Amino acid sequence: MTAVKAVVFLGMNPWRHEEINDTVRLLAKAMQGVERLYVDPPLGIRAALLKPAYFLRNLRWRRDDDGGITCLSPPLGFLPVRGGLRSFTNALWAAGLEKVLRGRYGGGWRESVLFYVSSWSYTLGGMLARLRPGRMFFHLLDDNFAFPQVAEDPAARELNRSFFGYMMKESTAAAAVSKGLAEKYGKIYGRKIALVRNGVDCRHFAPPAKEMAEEKKTPADLAGIPRPLLLYAGSVNAWVDLDLLAALADLRPRYALVLVGHYYPGAADGEKWARLLSRSNVFYLSSRPYGELPAYLQEAAALLLPRTAAEHSLHSDPLKLYEYLATGKPVVSTALPAVEEFREYVYVGTEPPEFARRVDEALAGHSEEKSRRQIEAVAGHSWAERAREILRLVEGEGGKK
């Protein structure tokens, strides 16, 4: 079998998006030994209307080279999925992308180019069917069908059904970020689904060296917030337990609860969100760029992972779990399957009183030794190792059976 020379990553978010981290971009940055191309996802009409400049910049293919990665933005990404217009753009994108790949790798590009396709690229199934890549790695990052935005939208469900059917049939190898996902979809589609979890850049999130610790600066927007500071970093959507956070704020009024992340209107309960923010000891700081996030995490007395027991939550493998652990800070989480491997280092509680007690324990009993061991425990989960796992699966025995 021809070795992989290049990997085309179909993105979840635009390459230059600073405030939302995702598996696809972090994997693209970590992949070594191959050429890397990243295709920005189409925004769609609703998101594009919030960014008028996108219409003018998106009339033709755009190319941007960044750190050895070729970033490509396809044209007319603002056209809606419905009404047949996406069929037109799928054909346009397939033709444009094939032209790029032929120009780089010749007419036999399908033998040496791997497409990394996540489960959130379901709007691009039509493009892939026209392009017919020879090698594809299908990565289930979430339980799409259990997400409210898919489960409650017949058109989105049908797009996902068609996309999953195509990818499960045509991909060279398939993997999921959790055992639950792998088992569920392995049974549904009758094929082998490997386990390739999320990862972390340990150096990025590592605590500052002792000689640097005294020089670190507290982010200005945290300076006036009382301590101890409990921090949640991540998107606020349907799987964040807003009731649990509100109860924690009430049960521990002397603790400051800080939320750092993007709030998705409609994806999270708006009334519960408003009630949470009404607490005097709750502070919402919106999103912060990936490069700045470690400084916020290091200011926390404990880091929170308050997830619901919904199916799509239990089947997830939270990026923030790895990032939290890499800081050496105490981590308090609800009872997620993803936490089990790190149970020795994570304080787990479910109901509000128990969760609050676990926070107390984390603040009182997290030692330097435990901090050191949790950093060591997560060190083997690097993005570079995840990238190697993917290439091994594609080039080895990770096929369709």
> pLDDT for 312-325, tens place per residue?
999 999 999 999 99
Higher confidence at residue 48 or residue 168?
A: 168
Q: What is the pLDDT of residue 81?
A: 63
Q: What is the pLDDT of residue 48?
A: 64
Mean pLDDT estimate for the chain: 92
**Residue 189 covered by a domain:** yes
How many domains does the chain divide into? Answer: 2
Q: What is the pLDDT of residue 212?
A: 63
Angle of helix 352-365 relative to helix 242-251, nearest 10 degrees?
60
Is the pLDDT score of 205 beyond 50?
Answer: yes
Domain containing residue 188: CATH number? 3.40.50.2000
**Residue 253 covered by a domain:** yes
Q: What is the pLDDT of residue 400?
A: 52
pLDDT band, residue 215 (cuts 50/70/90)? low
> pLDDT for 92-134, tens place per residue?
999 999 999 999 999 999 999 999 999 999 989 999 999 999 9
> pLDDT for 341-389, tens place per residue?
999 999 999 999 999 999 999 999 899 999 999 999 999 999 999 999 9
Show the domain range for 346. 202-378
Tell me, yes or no, whether 225 and 188 share the same domain.
no
**Residue 401 covered by a domain:** no
**Residue 283 covered by a domain:** yes
Beta-ladder partners of 73: 62
Is the pLDDT score of 80 beyond 80?
Answer: no
**Residue 93 covered by a domain:** yes
Lowest mean pLDDT among 59-63, 119-123, 227-231, 369-373: 59-63
**Residue 269 covered by a domain:** yes
Q: What is the pLDDT of residue 387?
A: 98
Percent of the chain with pLDDT over 70: 94
> pLDDT for 5-32, tens place per residue?
999 999 999 999 887 889 999 999 999 9
Q: What is the pLDDT of residue 396?
A: 84
pLDDT band, residue 87 (cuts 50/70/90)? confident
Lowest mean pLDDT among 127-141, 198-212, 243-257: 198-212
Q: What is the pLDDT of residue 401?
A: 45
SS (H, E, C) the chain: CCCCCEEEEECCCCCCCCCCCCHHHHHHHHCCCCEEEEECCCCHHHHHHCCCHHHHHCCCCEEEEECCEEEEECCCCCCCCHHHHHHHHHHHHHHHHHHHHHHHHCCCHHHHEEEEEECCCHHHHHHHHHHCCCEEEEEECCCHHHCHHHHCCHHHHHHHHHHHHHHHHHCCEEEECCHHHHHHHHHHHCCCCEECCCCECHHHHCCCCHHHHCCCCCCHHHCCCCCCEEEEECCECCCECHHHHHHHHHHCCCCEEEEECCECECCECHHHHHHHHCCCCEEECCCCCCCCHHHHHCCCCEEEECECCCHHHHCCCCHHHHHHHHHCCCEEECCCHHHHHHCCCEEECCCHHHHHHHHHHHHHHCCHHHHHHHHHHHCCCEHHHHHHHHHHHHHCCCCCC
Is the pLDDT score of 76 beyond 90?
Answer: no
Tell me, yes or no, whether 173 and 55 share the same domain.
yes
Tell me, yes or no, whether 143 and 83 share the same domain.
yes
Q: What is the mean pLDDT of residues 162-178?
A: 98
**Residue 35 covered by a domain:** yes
Is the pLDDT score of 83 beyond 70?
Answer: no
Tell me, yes or no, whether 24 and 171 share the same domain.
yes
Please give the model's pTM, rounded to 2 decimal places.
0.94
pLDDT band, residue 272 (cuts 50/70/90)? very high
Q: What is the mean pLDDT of residues 45-59?
A: 72
**Residue 47 covered by a domain:** yes
Higher confidence at residue 49 or residue 4?
A: 4
Tell me, yes or no, whether 128 and 264 share the same domain.
no
Lowest mean pLDDT among 16-20, 45-49, 273-277: 45-49
Tell me, yes or no, whether 45 and 131 share the same domain.
yes
Tell me, yes or no, whether 45 and 143 share the same domain.
yes
Peptide bond into 228 cis (omega under 30): yes
Q: What does each C-alpha distance from 211 to 216, 217, 297, 372 come to in angstroms?
A: 10, 14, 19, 17
Is the pLDDT score of 211 beyond 60?
Answer: no
> pLDDT for 148-166, tens place per residue?
889 999 989 999 999 999 9
Q: What is the pLDDT of residue 60?
A: 86
Q: Measure the CA–CA gap between 281 and 94, rounded to whole angstroms.
A: 51
> CB of 376 within 8 A of CB of 353?
no
